[in-house]
């Protein structure tokens, strides 16, 4: 097992994955929804096939939204568990906090980018139909602060015997 405290690297990894999904899922839905609608309305398909496609098109944003929420929660829990099992010296706490501040500063700029992206006309359909992604993209810095705090607490908040403070 790696005995180094890579909390900043783990938070950066989570940030990159979340930003990628926040950008990718609305684009997928915005591009796929008109295609599915036109495909379902074309002749040559039965009414049940068209109804199935339209039903899938109605469920797609909720499905992508729930996938995003599941990824967010699993990475948060996984990062905290990985940080808990790393045995590190408390002297590295200050260094970890400095690295986390740099990562959060980067999250601030990426959060502005994502907020501008979510307010474009190209993803307006997705913005209306994906409330979880819209909420997280508007509050990405707060989520990253909470994730970083949880991971630092799990990393440095226990004794070498495995107990608490």
Structure tokens at 34: 């008109």
Write the CA distances from 135 to 58, 72, 76, 77, 146, integer angstroms.
20, 13, 17, 20, 15
Domain count, the chain: 1
Domain holding 24, by residue range, is 7-156
Any domain includes 68: yes
Examine residue 44 and state whether it is found in any structural domain, yes or no: yes
| pLDDT at position 5 | 56
What pLDDT score was predicted for residue 66? Answer: 94
Helices and strands per DSSP (H, E), number in the chain: 6, 0
Please tell me the distance from the alpha carbon of residue 139 to that of residue 39, in angstroms, as a whole number: 36
- Predicted pLDDT at 126: 84
Whether the full predicted model's pTM is greater than 0.85, yes or no, is no
Q: Is 74 inside a domain boundary? A: yes
- Let me know: does 70 contact 144? Beta carbons within 8 Å: no
Q: Is residue 43 part of a domain?
A: yes
Please give the structure tokens belonging to residue 131.
């409330």
Q: Is 131 contained in some domain? A: yes
Below-50 pLDDT ranges, the chain: 1
CB 158: neighbour CB atoms within 10 A?
14
Nearest to 65 by CA among 24, 37, 35: 24
Instruction: Report yes or no on 46 lying in a domain.
Output: yes
Residue 37 lies in a domain: yes
For 12-59, write each residue's pLDDT tens digit: 888 899 999 999 999 999 888 888 888 888 767 788 888 888 888 889
pLDDT at 17: 92
């Amino acid at each position: 097992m790696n005995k180094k405290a890579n909390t900043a690297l783990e938070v950066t990894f989570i940030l990159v994955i979340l930003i990628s999904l926040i950008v990718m899922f609305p684009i997928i839905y915005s591009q796929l929804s008109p295609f599915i609608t036109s495909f379902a309305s074309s002749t040559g398909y039965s009414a049940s096939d068209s109804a199935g496609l339209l039903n899938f098109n109605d469920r797609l944003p909720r499905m992508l939204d729930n996938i995003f929420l599941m990824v967010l929660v699993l990475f948060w829990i996984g990062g905290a568990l990985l940080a808990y099992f790393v045995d590190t010296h408390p002297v590295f706490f200050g260094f970890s906090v400095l690295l986390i501040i740099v990562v959060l500063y980067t999250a601030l700029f990426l959060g502005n980018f994502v907020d501008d992206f979510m307010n474009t006309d190209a993803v307006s359909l997705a913005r209306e139909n994906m409330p979880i992604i819209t909420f997280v993209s508007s509050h990405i810095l707060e989520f990253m602060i909470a994730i970083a705090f949880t991971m630092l607490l799990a990393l440095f908040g226990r004794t070498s015997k495995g107990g608490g403070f």
